[in-house]
């Protein structure tokens, strides 16, 4: 039996731009995610170039290419790794995407956001559609906690309802590309989660994660799906969808 969103949850997602679904992945599935990360790192350097991105703060410091704790993110895993490709077909993800976006959906992008202890950097305030440039913005992401996720180790911070303002100006380069106007503290909601819990967020919702200030790991999976009526518009971040579903 897969999860079926209630009308109230669908309304909440449309109005507030987010929804929390507890327990979307099992302990066993999270364990597989961790072992896949370890396997990828053990295969260095024989892995695709776009799969691993290291923490910028490690530049110039002693580090090893095989140390998981030096990794900022894994990227495009559904293209490169069968476990993550199969996970994109998980009924709770795919059926929820179809409920919110319509029958024909595409997997836009997958990431494993590693936010390692002590050396990580914040992810600046942004809207994902600042990177995707999709019109209309019929797209959302699942952000799935793999570790216990807290304010101290870098949980998601969002501005409920901000997707209704439409795409706002962004500036900066690479991972520092973000909103030119930072939200007011009173508008911000932090979203602590337990392993396996998912935050669903619309692709124009303002969001941010602080650095991990603890000695605990904070790994999260991010899977974005888009609807079939969406077109990519040109911007500075060229990307290709990972999977189309029939």
Ligand X SMILES: O=C(O)CCC(=O)C(=O)O
Q: Which residues bind ligand X (CB under 6 A)?
A: 111, 113, 115, 123, 128, 154, 207, 209, 220
C-alpha–C-alpha distance, residues 223 and 206, integer Å: 17
Residue 227 CB, nearest distance to ligand X (Å)? 19
Residue 126 CB, nearest distance to ligand X (Å)? 6
Residue 51 CB, nearest distance to ligand X (Å)? 15
Residue 155 CB, nearest distance to ligand X (Å)? 9
Q: SS3 of 238, please?
A: coil
User: Based on CB atoms, which residue is closest to ligand X, 9 or 128?
Assistant: 128
Q: SS3 of 178, please?
A: strand
User: Based on CB atoms, which residue is closest to ligand X, 94 or 158?
Assistant: 158
User: Based on CB atoms, which residue is closest to ligand X, 42 or 192?
Assistant: 192
C-alpha–C-alpha distance, residues 76 and 58, integer Å: 22
Minimal CA–CA distance to 154: which of 180, 126, 202, 190? 190
By the 10 Å C-beta count (0-12 exposed, 13-18 middle, 19+ buried), 161 is classed as middle
User: Based on CB atoms, which residue is closest to ligand X, 45 or 174?
Assistant: 174
C-alpha–C-alpha distance, residues 17 and 52, integer Å: 30
């Amino acid at each position: 039996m897969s999860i079926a969103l209630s009308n109230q949850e669908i309304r909440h997602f449309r109005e507030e731009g987010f929804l929390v679904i507890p327990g979307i992945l099992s302990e066993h599935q999270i364990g597989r995610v961790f072992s896949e990360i370890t396997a990828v790192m053990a295969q260095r350097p024989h892995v695709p170039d776009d799969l691993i991105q290291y923490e910028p703060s490690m530049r110039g410091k002693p580090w090893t290419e095989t140390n998981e704790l030096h990794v900022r993110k894994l990227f495009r895993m559904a293209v490169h790794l069968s476990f993550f490709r199969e996970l994109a077909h998980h009924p709770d993800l795919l059926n929820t995407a179809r409920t919110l976006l319509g029958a024909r959906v595409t997997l836009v992008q997958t990431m494993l956001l590693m936010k390692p202890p002590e050396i990580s950097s914040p992810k600046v305030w942004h809207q994902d559609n600042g990177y995707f440039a999709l019109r209309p913005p019929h797209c959302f992401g699942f952000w799935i906690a793999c570790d216990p996720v807290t304010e101290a180790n870098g949980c998601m911070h969002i501005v409920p309802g901000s997707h209704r303002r439409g795409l706002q100006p962004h500036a900066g380069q690479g991972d520092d590309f973000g909103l030119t106007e930072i939200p007011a503290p009173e508008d911000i909601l932090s979203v602590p989660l337990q392993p396996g819990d998912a935050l669903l967020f619309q692709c124009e919702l303002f969001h941010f994660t602080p650095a991990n200030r603890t000695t605990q790991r904070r790994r999260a999976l991010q899977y974005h799906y888009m609807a079939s009526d969406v077109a990519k518009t040109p911007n500075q971040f060229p990307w290709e969808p990972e999977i189309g579903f029939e």
